[in-house]
Amino acid sequence: MKRIIILLSFMTLLANVSNGQSDLTFYHMGALTPQSSMNNASFFPDAEFFISFPGISGLNIKMDSEISYNQFMVPVEGTDSVKVDIYRALDNLKEGDNVRFKGDVSLFQFGIRSGNKTFSLFANMRYSGGFNYPVNFLNYFAYGNGNFIGEEVDERQIKGGGIAYHEIGLGYTQDLVILEDKTLRIGGRLKYLTGLAHLSSSKDASVSMFTDPATYDLTIQFNDAMIRTAGLNELQGDDPVGYILGFGSNDNRGFAIDLGADLTINDKLHGYLAINDLGFINWKQDVENYALENSEIVLGGFDDVNDVNVTQALEDSIDVWTEHVAGQVEFRTGIGTQTLLGASYQVTQKGNVSGTLSYNRSSYRSSEIGFGVGYTHVLGKALTLSTTVSKDQFRPVKVGGGFAVRVGALQLYGVFDDVLNSARQVGDINSVEARVGLNLLIGRNDKGKRKPKPAKQKENLSPFPPEYDLDHLLDEDEGTGSGF
């Protein structure tokens, strides 16, 4: 249990990074890469078939927070070391601030086109999570309870968690003609999941603190305080690498689907819809659930409020108030669902403007709405450039940029969703969002793109004026079957 407390404290207090969930710059680049299907299952690159290789074809890292490294770490005078300055961090935090992270690694991907259908096989390792900063709780213990004598202080921003898992699956797309002349491409991806690790607090967990004005007894009241974990012991075992790389090697299993659609309304206008990661994982192996043995703890024996060392008192009591294990009860969690609705319009021969609305629900029950507008330009057959301005519900405006270069069968791409923040000094960066990779694309999908030229017809050079045209008599004779 101490490991869990330490892990939660470290992630909550010291983590200075997390993710912007939208990934809209990459989405606005359309079906450019094999990895695009992770955002919309109907996307398939311009190729007859493709291959993506382990590690080098898809690496996605997203991290985001309200505070940067320089806002909570300070140098130790006279040395080359640094230390945590909790007071400086609290000065830069407000209630509701959080830290989020998300990413994935493409382990393998193969796809092939057959007429108006495509088929793909893929495997990825993915992770996501986040925590709210318990600002009231931290202020109470950092600055002491002297200013809160006789006053109850509540902290409800203590929910959080994280998840890591493998996915392996099959993808399929097909083109359909609807409404007489509209083309609808639909796609789906069926995924088998193997859970690697899970950590989460209970949904409505909260804590209240009260210092008695007469006795200075400190009462800590916990409500619905439970922590669920799975896989953490395996990660700290004798072979953590083997555990991480072992597909289907444990009993934490589940399923998920991705659904996508691309509607060609006319030659210039497209509409898109994607629902990703509809699924679950049943956590059965290496499961540990922790809860407080008593919901209320009273720390007493203080002669003066200045003698109440709250932090030390909690450290001395940690074995008492965390020793109860609720049991190794199996549980089920979602993996975080994302919905994307958008459209693109061709404004020039090689340029498209896109707009997208996103709704993200994380694996630890936090939700967020975002939107973005972007422009993508194709330069010949080799280079594609894209930029997007996006805004998440609880985040400032971000400017992203992306590129893809294709030389022969090789494709190199890179996407950076917060370019302005990344240009700051390293210590001031509080957001990193990047996706890079190298793919092998064979052939191009030219079928249906070239309109056949109409057959040339011989010009009628009859010397007679049109009113003397007697060809209709031949048609009548053919219709009756008579003739000379």
pLDDT in tens, 189-228: 999 999 999 988 777 777 888 888 887 777 877 777 778 8
Q: Which of 18-22, 143-147, 454-458 has the highest average model confidence (pLDDT)?
A: 143-147
Residue 25 dihedral angles phi and psi, to the nearest 5°: -60, -45
List own/partner pairs for 150-156 with CB under 8 A and 24 or more apart: 150/210, 150/211, 150/212, 150/213, 151/210, 151/211, 152/208, 152/209, 152/210, 153/208, 153/209, 153/210, 154/206, 154/207, 154/208, 155/206, 155/207, 155/208, 155/209, 156/206
Tell me the three state secondary structure of residue 247. Answer: coil
Tell me 34's DSSP state. Answer: G
Distance CA 73, CA 369 (A): 32
Write out the two tokens for 270.
Answer: 């497209």
Section 374-379 average pLDDT: 94
Section 460-478 average pLDDT: 53
Section 239-256 average pLDDT: 82
Residue 185's pLDDT is: 96
Q: Is the pLDDT of residue 468 over 70?
A: no
Comparison of pLDDT for 101 and 259, the residue scoring more: 259
Q: Is the pLDDT of residue 315 over 70?
A: no
Distance CA 11, CA 131 (A): 7
Type of residue found at 57: S
Nearest to 158 by CA among 140, 183, 171, 170: 140
Residue 182's pLDDT is: 87
Tell me 464's DSSP state. Answer: S
Distance CA 55, CA 130 (A): 24
Type of residue found at 188: G
Residue 419's pLDDT is: 72
**Element containing residue 313 per DSSP (H, E):** helix 310-321
Section 112-120 average pLDDT: 95
Question: pLDDT confidence of 35, banded at 50, 70, 90?
Answer: very high
Tell me the three state secondary structure of residue 455. Answer: coil
Per mean pLDDT, which range of 147-151, 277-281, 325-329, 477-481 is the poorest? 477-481
Distance CA 207, CA 233 (A): 27
Distance CA 408, CA 353 (A): 27
Residue 451's pLDDT is: 43
Proportion of the chain above pLDDT 90, given as a percent: 35
Q: Which of 256-270, 368-382, 467-481 has the highest average model confidence (pLDDT)?
A: 256-270
Q: Cα 59 to chain center, whole Å?
A: 13
Reported in sequence order, the residue ranges of 225-265 that DSSP labels E, i.e. its strands, are 226-230, 253-264
Q: Is the pLDDT of residue 292 over 50?
A: yes
160-178 and 98-114 beta bridge pairing: unpaired
Q: Mean of the per-residue pLDDT values for the chain?
A: 78
Residue 447's pLDDT is: 53
Nearest to 335 by CA among 155, 150, 164: 164
